[in-house]
Amino acid sequence: MGGWWGLKQNSNMRTGKVVLGTLAGLAIGATAGILFAPKKGSKTRKQIIDKGEDYVDELKSGFDKIFDSLTEKFKSTKKDAEGLVDKGKAKYDDAKKDVKNAAENFKHDSAVKKQHPGN
């Protein structure tokens, strides 16, 4: 059941990992830059807290985007699957009717042959 959906799923997972890795790298770099900057400790701590809050907001936004994308793809796939199920049910019903009609025709033809042997 991998199919094309599995490829899309893996692509979304890779994209999510790249986004998280990038944001983590930015956070580490910014924190290191702030720590090595020549400022008072209280200003540095406030700057780290502010940057940390900014990065948390960015991470939340990134997660929300990935979650929304996956949710939309799931809904779309579910809708497609429901359509396939409906088509399958319709084909099954048609085949069932065809078999029933063929059985009735066979019964009718057999009854006629019994009544009129030699035809």
Structural domain spans, the chain: 3-92
C-alpha pair distances (Å), 111 with each of 99, 103, 119 = 18, 12, 12
d(CA 102, CA 100): 5
Task: List pLDDT tens digits, range 12-68.
Answer: 667 777 877 888 888 788 777 767 766 677 777 787 788 888 888 888 888 898 899
Going by pLDDT thresholds of 50, 70 and 90, the confidence category of residue 118 is low
Task: List pLDDT tens digits, range 83-96.
Answer: 999 999 999 999 99
Q: Is the pLDDT of residue 7 over 50?
A: no
pLDDT of residue 18: 81
Would you give the end-to-end CA distance of the chain in angstroms?
A: 54
Q: Is the pLDDT of residue 78 over 80?
A: yes
d(CA 107, CA 97): 15
For the whole model, what pTM was predicted?
Answer: 0.45
d(CA 41, CA 18): 33
* Cβ-contact 47, 39 below 8 angstroms: yes
